[in-house]
Structure 1
Amino acid sequence: MARAVSTRRKLIYTLAAWTAGLLIFFPILWTVLTSFKTEADAIADPPVFLFFDWTLENYAIVQERSDYMRFLWNSVIIAGGSTLLGVLIAVPAAWSMAFVPSRRTKDILLWMLSTKMLPAVGVLYPIYLIFIEMGLLDSRIGLTLVLMLINLPIIVWMLYTYFREIPAEILEAARMDGATLREEILYVLTPMAVPGIASTVLLNIILAWNEAFWTLNLTAAKAAPLTAFIASYSSPEGLFYAKLSAASTMAIAPILILGWFSQKQLVRGLTFGAVK
């Protein structure tokens, strides 16, 4: 029998959750507010929170100096393309590890995860030379491939976890009914794991969207995404906090909107299989 939770404890938990949420969200809120300030108000001491002269001048200047839509389109193609390609590779890989018994499965998963422990700068030089030789430097295709390979271990791990929650008997029944391997994955496994796949896609779009190291080192101008767009307003000479905040707000707005509208799907996918 479930133990009743007192009203006082519920109130404490609610206040604690709201406090933690506000602390996490405050830097984003401060960035958005700063984007509407003048440069003088942005560096005011003591800082001003709400009572300042609101202005859209920073957004106008940023849009005038930079082609925001080009950076945005590059981010959409790179983040979406790398995630889609990663899922296409990870689904059969996760299926084989989840439903084909092997003593090496845990070792393979651990090895894949260990690749995320290597500092990215450790492989920058060889990848940079490969990109030069193959003509992929400052290209959307090159960045899409790199971000797909970077996030592929996470995609496989997440899909493997979701697939393990699906009873193997269902797939065996499909095989007995004459389903081929392709039909088994496409028409039986994938529809049952839609919540898990959706949350994996959303999480990896966010990871690819926010990736800065590779996008700054492997692009110049042609394929530069929004991370490079933000970096262009970060200068050691002069104070451009308001304009930098405006650029940052314009860069994070699309992914915040996506996360807001898909939060139910994301939570559903992340808790997939947690309650039986």
Structure 2
Amino acid sequence: MTTTSATSAPAPTRTAPQLRHRKPPRSGMVLSVLAWLFGIVFVFPVLWMVLTSFHSEADAASNPPKFFAPLTLSGYQEFFSGGPVPPLLNSATASIFSTILVLALAFPAAYALSIKPVRKWTDVLFFLLSTKFLPVVAGLLPIYLFAQKVGLLDNIWLLAVFYTVMNLPIAIWMLRSFLAEVPVEMLEAAEVDGAGLLRTLGSIVAPVVMPGLAAAALICFIFSWNELLFARVLTATTAETAPVFLTGFVTSQGLFLAQVCAASVIVSLPVLLAGFAAQDKLVQGLSMGAVR
């Protein structure tokens, strides 16, 4: 009797599913292209200013413009020969001092309006906002007469105080949105441990909202550094700031475009460097204050 051994068919093996690379949606590609186009549009004037600063006055004023004109440092030499160090130091003094003073006043004020709200805190916020409704030109003459009466014309410290008053409402509104994100349980635990108000603000609240503080400080510094109207009216020679010094290159006689571009590049560098150094804190702080 013969037995036949049936060979069992091999079990079908499952092949791993092939990974298919998903193509990015066409709408995402269109948005990326539009973002690049908008970025180029906004950056091109800055690049053109930098390029023009390295041209001679004749090439800078030519029409049509010469893209490949010979490069020179004459514009920068004219700028530094005019003595820009005192105006730059004045701008740095007024901007840094006013920024520090704004943070010292806005931080506890925002704490009182968000974490420990005072009575009618909404009225306080709207009052602070209403101070920005008045045009700056409308208050220029009373401020000038006051400075003249007390003998503080051409004084950099008076300018720093006015910068503080101008930026304080903005800083309070910004910091209040940041402080609203602080967990209440953290403050209650600090209160149980016996921490006072100053220690709570300095050791507990400040590290949590540090990106917000950096964002508010950078914005206040930029506004103070770029301010021109008050500096033009309230200062002369001793307290002249960098934007006022920059306007001195615009004359009714002769060519000045290359010199103005060179001066604009130098005056813009502190703001650009500060923004580049604090860009991560700025983005984090603004997003923290905007997202609930």
Same structural fold, with TM-score higher than 0.5 when normalized by the shorter chain = yes
Deviation, 1:275, is 5.2
Structure 1 counterpart of 2:59, from 32, 37, 41? 41
Contact 2:58/2:255 (CA < 8 Å) preserved in 1?
Answer: no
User: Cα distance, 1:237 vs. partner?
Assistant: 3.0
Q: How is 1:111-260 mapped onto 2 (pairs within 5 angstroms)?
A: 111-260=127-276
Q: Distance in 2 between matches of 1:113 and 1:140?
A: 26
Counterpart in the other structure of 2:43:
25
Query: CA RMSD, aligned part only?
Result: 1.7
**TM-aligned CA deviation for residue 231 of structure 1:** 0.8
Deviations along 1:130-186, whole A, 9 cap, x unmatched? Answer: 112222211111110000100110000000010011122221221121111111111
- The answer to whether the Cα contact below 8 Å between 2:102 and 2:164 also exists between their aligned partners in 1 is yes
> Whose helix fraction is larger, Structure 1's or Structure 2's?
1
Identity value in percent = 39
TM-score computed with the length of structure 2 as normaliser: 0.88
TM-score by length of 1: 0.93
Structure 2 partner of 1:63? 80
Question: Could you tell me how far 1:106 is from its partner in structure 2?
Answer: 2.0
Q: CA-to-partner distance for each residue in 1:37-69, whole Å, 9 max, x for gaps?
A: 1111111111123x11100011111211x2122
Q: Distance in 1 between matches of 2:23 and 2:291?
A: 20
Give the C-alpha shift of residue 103 in structure 1: 5.5
Residue identity in the other structure for 2:246: I
TM-superposed CA distance for 1:95, in Å, is 0.5
Unpaired runs of 5+ residues, structure 2, are 1-21
1 CA distance for matches of 2:195 and 2:145? 45
Shift of 1:226: 0.8
Shift of 1:112: 0.9
The one-letter amino acid paired with 1:142 is: L
Unmatched segments (≥5 aa) in structure 1: none
Structure 1 distance, partners of 2:58, 2:268, is 24
**Contact kept in structure 1, 2:91 and 2:241, CA below 8 Å:** yes
Partner of 2:114: 98
Q: Is the 8 A contact 2:174 2:289 kept in 1?
A: no
Equivalent residues of 2:177, 2:290 under 8 A apart: no
Count how many residue pairs are aligned between Structure 1 and Structure 2. Answer: 271
**Distance of 1:8 and 1:191 partners within structure 2:** 42
**Partner amino acid, structure 1, of 2:26:** R
Name the larger-Rg structure: 2
